[in-house]
Amino acid sequence: MRQKILPDKTGHFGVFGGRFVPETLIYALDELEKKYSSAKKDKRFREEFSAYLSEYAGRPTPLYLAKNLSRHIGIKRVYLKREDLLHTGAHKINNTLGQAILAKMMGKKRVIAETGAGQHGVATATVAALFGLKCDVYMGEEDIQRQALNVLRMKLLGARVIPVKSGTRTLKDAMTEALRDWVTNVRHTYYIIGTVAGPHPYPAMVRDFQSVIGKEAKQQILKKEKRLPDYLVACVGGGSNAMGLFYPFFKDRSVKMIGVEAAGLGLFSGKHSASLVSGTPGVLHGCKSDVLEDKFGQIKNAHSIAAGLDYPGVGPEHAYYKEIKRADYVAVSDKEALEGFKLLSEVEGIIPALESAHAIAYLKKAGKNIKKGAVVILCLSGRGDKDLHESY
């Protein structure tokens, strides 16, 4: 199959993507698509975005040669793209900055978001504080109890956290409520989606905002190695840090891409978040992609020890990359991820987010299968301070 850069005009990546939303949102999505495509070409938007990325968020992030890790797992050179060093501790700020600047340019006074573990909620509340926007974050009641610290953070940043009591009272119910709010308040409200999912144009737009990761990494590796890497490795929840790294290398056919999902308690336990490795095509969050659903077509609850991977779907562009075999997707368990978490802490003095620890764990496991002399870039999507209580 020929490999094209997508989405097409209707927001499809092959059969994936598109828009599965109430009629009332079509106008809002069209408006967003128009505004985004003109902002992309607008020098003022690009300069403002890149100034905030560097002055506020801390870009460019280093591409660090992890010599001890490389030696330990028997791969020639593993470089870590240090998104963990960004303001708020993860890559999510790249996207929320881009969308908040866009919201401001569109004259919106209020932003909303949904959050599971609270990480995207915190990144949204952060930019809302920065730009003086009112901010409401939908969060399942269950998650509010589990993630008390992030709830406090959001409140301190001036956001309102709205408890969602319906369904399983977790992320997927929060998404439904956020979409419902948007339908009602679309004139003055902007909906900040946290990953490369949602109805068109969100998957492509979030990808573009996150692709600063891969663009920087490419320049940095060409400078350090005088050649492209052999492998890119990143964890996949909704897929935004992975797509941000992968996308700028799409046409570089020699570069292999590996996305690492959460196998949770094991793929056969039913308690995992591996939508690409073991899901089926379906509709979630306004787009078609691979999802976890039961035999009645109901979306299942995902599970992962890493809160940020705990999502029963994945961005449509990943489903497309899988279909055309541009990227490989694998899954590692909670237990393996914890080993990755300890390993990087012990050998490099870097405590990774449990999400990113999945990518580390995969490299450790697959080290022998990766060709000798390989140069690898691994996206260290976030730092692990938030996860210390999980690891004991």
Residues of this chain that interact with ligand PLP (CB under 6 A) are 90, 92, 119, 195, 235-242, 308-309, 353, 355-356, 381-382
Nearer to ligand PLP among residue 11 and residue 382 (C-beta):
382
To ligand PLP, the closest distance from the beta carbon of 226 in angstroms equals: 29
Q: Cα–chain-centroid distance for residue 219?
A: 22
Nearer to ligand PLP among residue 101 and residue 234 (C-beta):
234
* Pair 281, 275: CB distance under 8 Å: no
* Pair 333, 259: CB distance under 8 Å: no
To ligand PLP, the closest distance from the beta carbon of 84 in angstroms equals: 7
Token representation of residue 193 = 């989606």
To ligand PLP, the closest distance from the beta carbon of 81 in angstroms equals: 12
Token representation of residue 278 = 């073991």
Q: Which of 33, 83, 114, 293 is the catalytic position?
A: 114
Token representation of residue 318 = 């990943």
CA–CA gap between residue 174 and residue 165 (Å, rounded) = 9
To ligand PLP, the closest distance from the beta carbon of 153 in angstroms equals: 13
Q: Which residue is nearest to ligand PLP (CB)?
A: 382
Look up 76 and say whether it is catalytic: no
Nearer to ligand PLP among residue 173 and residue 355 (C-beta):
355
* Pair 120, 194: CB distance under 8 Å: yes
Nearer to ligand PLP among residue 229 and residue 382 (C-beta):
382
| CA-to-CA dists, residue 281 to 194, 215, 239, angstroms | 21, 30, 16
Q: Which of 70, 240, 356, 381 is the catalytic position?
A: 381
Q: Which of 35, 81, 92, 288 is the catalytic position?
A: 92
Nearer to ligand PLP among residue 220 and residue 356 (C-beta):
356
Peptide linkage before 199 cis (omega within 30 of 0): no
CA–CA gap between residue 140 and residue 161 (Å, rounded) = 10
To ligand PLP, the closest distance from the beta carbon of 31 in angstroms equals: 25
Token representation of residue 199 = 């109805």
Look up 31 and say whether it is catalytic: no
Look up 251 and say whether it is catalytic: no
Nearer to ligand PLP among residue 103 and residue 234 (C-beta):
234
For 24, list phi and psi in degrees, rounded to 5.
-65, -20
To ligand PLP, the closest distance from the beta carbon of 119 in angstroms equals: 4
Sheet harboring 16-17: ordered strands across? 12-13, 16-17, 287-291, 280-284
Q: Cα–chain-centroid distance for residue 371?
A: 28
CA–CA gap between residue 312 and residue 172 (Å, rounded) = 8
DSSP track, 27-52? HHHHHHHHHHHHHHH-HHHHHHHHHH
User: Which of the residues are catalytic?
Assistant: 92, 114, 381
